[in-house]
Amino acid sequence: MRNRVLIVSIYILLITFVLAFNLKSWVGPYTALNNPFVPQAQAFAPTFVAPTLLDPYLSKSWVLEDQKNLNIQDAWKLSQGDKRIIVAVIDTGIDLTHPDLKNNLWQNTKEIPGNGIDDDGNGYIDDIHGWNFVANTNRPEDDHGHGTHVAGIIGAVKGNGIGISGICPNVSLMILKYYAQSAPGSDNLKNTIQAFKYAVQNGAHIINYSGGGAEFSSAEHAVIEEARKKGILVIAAAGNERQNADTHAYYPASYDLENIISVAAITQDQNLVDSSNYGPERIDVAAPGHQVYSTLPGGKYGTMTGTSQATAVVTGVAALALSKFGVLPATQIKAVILKNILPVKQLKNRVKTGGIVNADQVLKDLSRTQ
């Protein structure tokens, strides 16, 4: 039976409970005059003015500060996301009460919380933020840490005076817990497939999967094919086995489906992380995945390394792009992300595009063409 494993990374640092209330400036809410989601009448109707507070740990995150690789600081001048973009995070769950995450959890508005009834008839009772496929409950709590870390990279809240910011600070995170450390790999795979089905059937625009295994699963392939038919983008980790994925396939990253972006991890100096899988045919692109600073359970923060983190970075970029330019088909957004990489010579024969995801170039390119 296939052994589905989580891509576990390294905790280096845990810091918490330091809040800085530095009032930086007063700005209006994010208005989306050019956003195709927003009817023009609404676009001219600001409702309140909210203070923007500094996120005191931004400087701990080289991924967010660094302008050479991802260049998120310039990308944020073009977009900081939109809560209508739903990102499914299929992982170990999340700290549902983390102060830097709780306001970006997806809200299933078709479900009345806590009434014991499956109001929306999707097969899950009181599924407000997603589902826990391990315990079969509506509380996808994180007893591991991995899922909370990945979720924070994608979409921690920006400008709230707390911690960090995600790559896409305004987003809705649909939390689907598939992984239990004590469970057999076959159970984790079965739960993975259920989680993908949930994401596809309940409105996710992007699915982040920072896990994988060596064996092909026809059921998993089929559900990602369903996602493809709906135009849903799947971002999948290359894996942390130090292997060439062209000869040692790692799924779902290695499925030959055009809606998957497979991601290797790099360090700040643009080298592949030692543990990262690679593959000039099967792995599309590289992204920052070394000592990435993000959220951890218990309202905490810390660093982790691996292709899981790099995958979350690319998911954040894809979510930013959709938030500004509407829900583009998966193949289109994939093409734009892969076209706008930063080429790096040491990645030339390691990933298909030979480069690193660059958020600013992706948004600028879409600004020119949309």
Show the tokens assigned to 227.
């996602």
163 is a contact residue toward Ca ion (CB under 5 A)? yes
Return the closest-CA partner of residue 239 out of 212, 216, 271. 212
Residue with tokens 């600070």: 169
Give me the least distance between CB of 109 and Ca ion, in Å please.
11
Size of the site for Ca ion (CB under 5 A): 12
Beta bridge partners of 235: 208, 261
Task: List the end-to-end C-alpha distance of the chain, in Å, as a whole number.
Answer: 46
Residue 84 beta carbon to Ca ion: minimum distance, rounded to whole angstroms:
20
Q: Which of 100, 142, 220, 284 binds Ca ion (CB under 5 A)?
A: 100
Measured distance CA(66)–CA(208) in Å, rounded = 23
Catalytic site residues? Answer: 91, 146, 308
Give 79 or 259: the residue with its C-beta nearer to Ca ion: 79
Token digits of residue 329: 């088909």
Among positions 31-90, residues that touch Ca ion (CB under 5 A) are 55
Part of the chain binding Ca ion (CB under 5 A), chosen from 109-117, 132-140, 327-335, 362-370:
109-117
Cα three-residue angle 286-289-290, rounded to 5 degrees: 130
DSSP 8-state assignment for residue 58? G
Question: Is residue 268 a contact residue for Ca ion (CB under 5 A)?
Answer: no
Neighbours of 78 (CB within 10 A): 18
Q: Given the complex with Ca ion, which of 249 and 313 has the nearer CB atom?
A: 313
Which range binds Ca ion by CB under 5 A, 16-24, 95-103, 203-211, 345-353? 95-103
Token pair belonging to 101: 């995450």
Dmax over CA atoms of the chain, in Å, equals: 57
Q: Which of residues 120-159 bind Ca ion (CB under 5 A)?
A: 120, 122, 124, 127, 157
Name the one range near Ca ion by CB under 5 A: 108-116, 143-151, 243-251, 273-281.
Answer: 108-116
What single-letter DSSP state applies at residue 347? G
Tokens of 319: 């979510």
Answer whether 296's CB lies under 8 Å from 134's CB: no
Q: Which is nearer to Ca ion, 131 or 255 (CB)?
A: 131
Binding test (CB under 5 A) with Ca ion, winner from 8, 63, 153, 162: 162
For the CB of residue 123, give the shortest distance to Ca ion in the complex, in Å.
7
Q: Closest residue (Cβ) to Ca ion?
A: 55
Q: Name the residues that contact Ca ion, by CB under 5 A.
A: 55, 100, 111, 118, 120, 122, 124, 127, 157, 160, 162-163
